[in-house]
Amino acid sequence: MAGKREEQQSATRRDRRRRNAAALAAVCTATAWAAITALVARRGAELTHAAPLVLAAASPRLICSDLTEQRLRNGDLVVTYTGTLCVITAAAVSQASPGPFVRAVAVSLALLTAGAALTLTTGQFGGGDTKLAAVIGLALGPDAWAAPVVAVLYGFVLAAGAVAVRACAAKARRTPRPTTIPMGPFLLAGALTASLTARPA
């Protein structure tokens, strides 16, 4: 009987985490859409500047899956990468200017390589995080070389802050310190921050 009660309580806690994750994803996405749309309007109607909107549109599923399942689904990442690639390709063709496209692809590959190295050497950066970093490189790369790199750095800083807060909370409650943290939401938050502050190349 006690075992069933514990199982029900565990299921209730999981459902509560899923609902909280969904609510957080909705708030983050609404903020991202509003902020990036305002940024696109401010910078002009160039198609290249719409690339971050694809990332913003994909944020709900990415955040929810990472918070509730501790993983970023390959299907979601492939769709996001493909959609972003289509936007910047269309921009390069319509404007007859391949520079932003080349820059975005180069930064994306660089972040993919760096993320893979982190995954292999530290084990603290998952395969999904590596692919998401590549998507961020593709989405923010057309505007500036540094923007995607800064976005990932922002993500690490935000994640480090969250780890510190969770460690302090665990110490206060005398519970085990959490050993893992989903990086996806922090990388996306870093991308939003970088996209709002980046200066065009």
Tokens 């979601």: give the residue: 76
16-71 tens-digit pLDDT: 766 666 666 666 666 665 665 555 555 545 666 778 888 888 888 888 888 888 88
Most confident range (mean pLDDT) of 7-16, 17-26, 125-134 is: 125-134
Is the pLDDT at 77 greater than 90? The verdict is: yes
Task: Please give the share of the chain, as a percent, with pLDDT higher than 70.
Answer: 72
pLDDT mean over 173-194: 81
Residue 142 tokens read as: 């057309």
147-168 tens-digit pLDDT: 899 999 999 998 888 888 877 8
pLDDT mean over 96-109: 89
Contact between residue 155 and residue 187 where contact means Cβ atoms under 8 Å apart: yes
Rounded to a whole number of angstroms, the CA Rg of the chain reads 18
Is the pLDDT at 145 greater than 70? The verdict is: yes
Structure confidence at residue 181 (pLDDT):
81
Contact between residue 28 and residue 185 where contact means Cβ atoms under 8 Å apart: yes
Q: How far apart are CA 147 and CA 185, in angstroms?
A: 17
Structure confidence at residue 46 (pLDDT):
61
pLDDT band at 90 (very low <50, low <70, confident <90, very high): confident
